[in-house]
Amino acid sequence: MRLTRRALVPGLHKIPVKILVDDKPTEAENDTVIRIEKLRVQRLRRDSIRRFLEKVIGRGLKTHEVYFEGERLSYEEPPSVKEWKFRVPASLHQILGDCELLIKASSAPLEEEQRGISIIANDVVHEITLLNSEHSSTAWRLFGEIEIPLLDSEDPIPAYDNTRSLRLNEDNERVKRLHDWLDSTIRTVVKQLEEEDNRRIDKETEKALSKECAKIEDVLNKDFADVIKQLESKPKLGGVGPGTPVPDGSLGPSLGEGELRIKVKAEEGTPYEKASSGDYIVVEPRKGLGGEGPPNPSEPKEACDSTHPEAPKARDLPGGRGRSIPRGGFRVTYRRRGPDARRAGYYEQIQEIEINLDYPELACTGSIDSSLFRSLSYEIAIGEYASAVVQIMARCGYVDVEDSADSALAEWRRVVNRLGIAITPLIKASLQRTQTQNGGQQ
């Protein structure tokens, strides 16, 4: 059978699969092979896909063997520290049925593929959601499920369509009433967890930690402002760059002192290749998938450096659409997540760096007023920030990770070195306070 993207018209209740062969004997093994072609993505994240499939198929993996690229999938839910069970209110029984919602909480925020409440109808997952709590790092600790068989009812407006988008149809009355109740229930659980977190840290400690967070944020966000300027002034890799002239003959990235200047030998035709020639790098057409370049190349023409006022900015250049550059600043928080949780985490959706106070390496430093605690906190925050910045640069197309991680690792080191210098005044001030408190003795 075959299913094409063009056939998936929104609103259909049945999947328009075209049967190619039906009821014919075969000697092939008893299984189903799914081949997906013509994906509209530049790079497959196989680990993320595998985790996503394991969650979506979920408990079905207990009774079915499913393989992804030759590896059998299995589903293991994250360890939980608490759970809640809620019955659908009697007032909603007629439209939703008498069903039970199970919500579990982990000790720390979960990866995107692990978190969320699965809404199921007859063993098929139709949505995994946190609804209006999706941007709460506390809600990211939650996972669970609810089975609503009535979602398969023949309603005038279907509860879901055939696109398997993992999004229920809000125009369906059952879905609307379910979402309202589920959203309210999730908010109740989140509020309870937040109150528990607040009770673990006394007010004076919370105030002191908030001051440390503000200091770290100031250093990180000053650097991030410079990163944003850098990204806005450079073209994306894989779009317009060295050896790929834009229509006006300009080339993108800034050419530092000591580098060869670039001249464009043709304004039209693709693909191009560059070659060193004396004092210049000459860009000229070559034969490729698109045929040969222009038969009558124009006179060589010097490219504009990206610092030139007339040079195109990255956001104006052709050649593929990457993710938009994030705005705003980084937020730093301290939380108690338990000694077995990660020492820190970065949550991209809200640009938050969370430091785990219970992590053994940090917990053994003693008081939060000690210079050792502060210095280690700064180091942890810098590491998470550097990883986040490189991730942003790679996803926006400014760090090449297509062939290897070398460029990303080099960029990570540059960020860490830069921030290590920027954070030094805070470390010195912390050491001086400790010396003063100890009467000048360490």
* pLDDT tens by residue, 297-332: 444 434 443 344 544 343 343 333 345 677 778 999
Which residue shows structure tokens 């360490």?
442
- Range 194-199 average pLDDT: 85
Partners of 12 in beta bridges: none
**AA letter at 112:** E
User: What is the rounded radius of gyration, in angstroms, for the C-alpha atoms of the chain?
Assistant: 28
On the question of pLDDT at 232 being above 70, the answer is: yes
Structure tokens of 227? 């990163």
Distance CA 35, CA 2 (A): 10
Cβ proximity of 135 and 331 under 8 Å: no
Residue in the structure block whose two tokens are 């917990």: 363
| Per-residue pLDDT at 15 exceeds 90 | no
- Least confident segment among 46-55, 179-188, 283-292, 404-413: 283-292
Confidence of residue 17 (pLDDT cuts 50, 70, 90): confident
Among 66-75, 248-257, 308-317, which stretch is predicted with the lowest mean pLDDT?
248-257
CB atoms within 10 A of CB 413: 12
* All CATH 3.30.230 domain ranges in the chain, comma separated: 82-198
pLDDT category, 278, cuts 50, 70, 90?
very low
The tokens for 340 are 């077995």
Residue recorded with tokens 């560059």: 274
- pLDDT of 346: 92
415: pLDDT strictly greater than 90: yes
pLDDT at 43: 65
Lowest mean pLDDT among 46-55, 87-96, 373-382, 408-417: 46-55
Per-residue confidence (pLDDT) for residue 41, from 0 to 100: 64
- Tell me: pLDDT of 418 over 90: yes
Q: Say if CB 373 and CB 365 are below 8 A apart.
A: yes
CATH match of 82-198 with 3.30.230: yes
Q: What is the pLDDT of residue 42?
A: 60
- Closest Cα to residue 182, out of 247, 113, 103? 103
> What's the Cα-to-Cα distance from 305 to each of 255, 310, 311, 428, rounded to whole Å?
6, 9, 7, 40
User: What is the pLDDT at residue 135?
Assistant: 87
Burial class (CB in 10 A: 0-12, 13-18, 19+), 195: exposed
Using 50, 70 and 90 to split pLDDT, how confident is the model at 29? Answer: confident
Checking if the pLDDT of 248 tops 90, the result is no
Average pLDDT over the chain, rounded to an integer: 77
The model carries a pTM of: 0.57
Say what the pLDDT of residue 201 is.
Answer: 76
Query: In this structure, are residues 252 and 270 in contact, taking their beta carbons and an 8 Å threshold?
Result: no
Identify which of 80, 40, 34 has the alpha carbon closest to the alpha carbon of residue 53.
Answer: 34
148 exposure class (CB count in 10 Å sphere: 0-12, 13-18, 19+): buried
Distance between CA atoms of 98 and 224, rounded to whole angstroms?
Answer: 51
By DSSP bridging, strand 344-347 and strand 352-356 are: antiparallel
- Cis upstream peptide for 271 (omega within 30°): yes
The token pair at 322 is 């990457």
pLDDT band at 408 (very low <50, low <70, confident <90, very high): confident
Mean pLDDT (whole number) for 159-186: 88
**Residue 213 confidence class, pLDDT cut points 50, 70, 90:** very high
Which positions ≥6 away from 312 have C-beta within 8 Å?
235, 240, 246, 248, 250, 252
Confidence of residue 91 (pLDDT cuts 50, 70, 90): very high
Q: Report the share of the chain in percent with pLDDT over 70.
A: 73
126-138 per-position pLDDT tens digit: 899 999 999 888 9
Distance CA 380, CA 117 (A): 31
Neighbours of 82 (CB within 10 A): 15
- Range in 94-108, 155-169, 209-223, 398-412 with the lowest mean pLDDT: 398-412
Instruction: Examine the pLDDT at 347 and tell me if it is beyond 80.
Output: yes
